[in-house]
Amino acid sequence: MHEVVALFSPRPLGQAYLLAKQDPNYHALGVRFHSLFFLATPHRGADSAQLLNRVLRVSMPLEPKSYVSDLIPNSGAIQIINDEFRHVYQGTNIWSFFETVKTNLVVSQELIVEKGSASIGTLLA
């Protein structure tokens, strides 16, 4: 179940980090960040977000959840967070980890977050 938790974590963490680094009111907090660890975080989105949106639509006939739609590859939310992060991460150690064991999705076994999306490296260039 760690994959689902990882899917929902980047937005709040990213926004808190960005706020602490950019807003003078939170400068004291921002300088305390030493390291960030990203565990299978979909920095470029995850195709599984589209599947999760479909499952949620069927199980709960409501509109798609924005926090799930934000994780669809190339979403506006991901692009904004990545663009802002690129300008404030200096001085913070960044560690990103990716999945190596596929998750059983009944009809197939897949990585929830592909290695290319979980690795933050090229986003910082």
Q: What average pLDDT does the chain have?
A: 78
All residues at 6 or more sequence positions from 93 whose CB lies less than 8 Å from its CB, including other chains:
34, 35, 36
All residues at 6 or more sequence positions from 94 whose CB lies less than 8 Å from its CB, including other chains:
35, 36, 38, 120, 124
- Global confidence as pTM: 0.70
For the stretch 18-66, pLDDT in tens is 888 888 998 888 888 888 888 888 888 888 887 777 777 777 766 666 7
On whether the CB atoms of residues 120 and 13 are closer than 8 A, the answer is no
Residue found under tokens 């009944």: 106
What does the pLDDT average to over 76-80? 85
Distance from C-alpha of 67 to C-alpha of 15, rounded to nearest angstrom: 13
Closest to 81 measured CA to CA, from 2, 27, 21: 21
On whether the CB atoms of residues 112 and 40 are closer than 8 A, the answer is yes
Report helix angle 76-86 to 10-22, nearest 10: 40
Given this model, what pLDDT does residue 120 score? 80
On whether the CB atoms of residues 46 and 117 are closer than 8 A, the answer is yes
